């Protein structure tokens, strides 16, 4: 069940602050390859990502997002792990919808962005680290290093995901997911036919039983799509 907005135990989440968008843009100037986009994702894209991750608001939980789900998720909710949270475009929307249910981890490499996110959203476990260490990051937080995450939301660019390469992050991410878990990854429509984007879609289909892609979300700069990969194949 989605959290009841009238529930007194529900965690309040502040709305996005435009100054954090400006901070993100400043970090792009500092580290363009790792930051991977000039401006953070829009609220429209964040809603599409959260719909793919947790199911549309007001609807029963999406296929593959069991709820309630002990033991990883506290308070009877899912374990949600965000990769490359940036200034929190997706983090705010996911945290608002979770309302304090379950566990919500947000991994971010850039220490300035991670620090600011932790300040803004104390209900989220912000992890200032490299996603390459994902299984260890989960284990030190008392979660299984494989098979224990319900939802991974990736805001990473190609430089961190490395689709189609021997050191691709995608098999690692798939291995962290519970049976029936879901990976949500966004991409830009205008680069969809570039080699890394095609490699990413190919790898998702190899690693997951079901892959769907939304229509273009035009209210984002640049316009974007959202891939939802469910049912990780077990090797
Ligand atoms: C394209 S931005 C997306 C940010 C945010 N999710 C959004 O949609 O606005 C990618 C983010 O991933 C972070 N990042 C890049 N490489 C990373 C890595 N190896 N580990 C963790 N975060 C990383 C960057 O610092 C940046 O904040």
pLDDT confidence of residue 207? 98
- The CA-based dihedral angle spanning residues 171, 173, 174, 180, taken in that order and rounded to the nearest 10 degrees: 180
Asked, for residue 74, whether it belongs to a domain, the answer is yes
Q: What is d(CA 77, CA 94) in angstroms, rounded to the nearest whole number? A: 12
In which domain, by residue range, is 145 found? 18-232
How high does pLDDT run on average in the chain? 89
Cα atoms in the Cβ-side hemisphere of radius 13 Å centred on 78? 32
Give yes or no for residue 84 CB within 6 A of ligand 1: yes
From first to last of its 235 residues, the chain has per-residue pLDDT tens of 455 555 656 778 888 888 888 888 888 888 888 887 888 999 999 999 999 999 998 766 555 554 434 334 545 799 999 999 999 999 999 999 999 999 999 999 999 999 999 999 999 999 999 999 999 999 999 999 999 999 999 999 999 999 999 999 999 999 999 999 999 999 999 999 999 999 999 999 999 999 999 999 999 999 999 999 999 997 5
Give yes or no for residue 113 CB within 6 A of ligand 1: yes
Asked, for residue 13, whether it belongs to a domain, the answer is no
Number of domains within the chain: 1
Give yes or no for residue 153 CB within 6 A of ligand 1: no
Cα atoms in the Cβ-side hemisphere of radius 13 Å centred on 201? 17
Asked, for residue 10, whether it belongs to a domain, the answer is no
Asked, for residue 12, whether it belongs to a domain, the answer is no
Provide the sign of the torsion angle of the four alpha carbons 84, 179, 70, 51, taken in this order.
positive
The two beta strands, 224-232 and 177-188, are antiparallel
DSSP 138-200: HHTTTS-SSS-EEEEEE---HHHH-TTSTT-SHHHHHHHEEEEEEEEEEEEGGGTTSHHHHHH
Query: Closest Cα partner for 72 from 149, 9, 173, 174?
Result: 149
Q: What is d(CA 210, CA 212) in angstroms, rounded to the nearest whole number? A: 7
Give yes or no for residue 34 CB within 6 A of ligand 1: yes
Q: How far is the CA of 132 from the centre of ligand 1 (A)?
A: 12
Asked, for residue 8, whether it belongs to a domain, the answer is no
Has this prediction a pTM greater than 0.95? no
pLDDT confidence of residue 34? 85
pLDDT confidence of residue 152? 98
Cα atoms in the Cβ-side hemisphere of radius 13 Å centred on 159? 10
Q: How far is the CA of 78 from the centre of ligand 1 (A)?
A: 22
Here the CATH number for the domain that contains residue 67 is: 3.40.50.150
Asked, for residue 9, whether it belongs to a domain, the answer is no
Angle at 179 between CA 200 and CA 209, to 5 degrees: 40
Q: How far is the CA of 228 from the centre of ligand 1 (A)?
A: 18
Asked, for residue 164, whether it belongs to a domain, the answer is yes
Q: What is d(CA 54, CA 49) in angstroms, rounded to the nearest whole number? A: 9
């Amino acid at each position: 069940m989605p959290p009841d907005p009238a529930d007194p135990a529900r965690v309040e989440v502040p709305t996005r602050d435009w100054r954090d968008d400006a901070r993100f843009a400043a970090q792009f100037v500092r580290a363009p390859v790792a930051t991977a986009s000039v401006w953070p994702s829009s609220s429209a894209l964040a809603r599409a990502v959260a719909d793919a991750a947790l199911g549309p608001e007001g609807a029963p939980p999406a296929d593959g997002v069991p709820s309630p789900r002990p033991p990883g998720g506290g308070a009877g909710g899912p374990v949600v792990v965000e990769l490359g949270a940036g200034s929190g475009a997706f983090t705010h929307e996911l945290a608002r919808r979770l309302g304090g249910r379950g566990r919500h981890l947000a991994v971010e490499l850039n220490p300035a962005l991670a620090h600011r996110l932790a300040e803004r959203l104390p209900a989220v476990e912000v992890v200032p680290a490299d996603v390459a260490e994902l299984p260890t990051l989960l284990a030190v937080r008392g979660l299984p290093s494989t098979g224990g995450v319900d939802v991974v939301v990736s805001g990473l660019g190609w430089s961190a995901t490395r689709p189609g390469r021997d050191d691709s992050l995608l098999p690692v991410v798939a291995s962290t997911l519970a049976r029936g878990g879901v990976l949500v990854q966004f991409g830009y429509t205008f680069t969809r036919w570039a080699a890394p984007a095609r490699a990413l879609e190919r790898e998702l289909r190899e690693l997951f039983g079901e892959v769907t892609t939304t229509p273009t979300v035009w209210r984002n700069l640049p316009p974007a799509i959202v891939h939802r990969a469910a049912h990780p194949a077990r090797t």
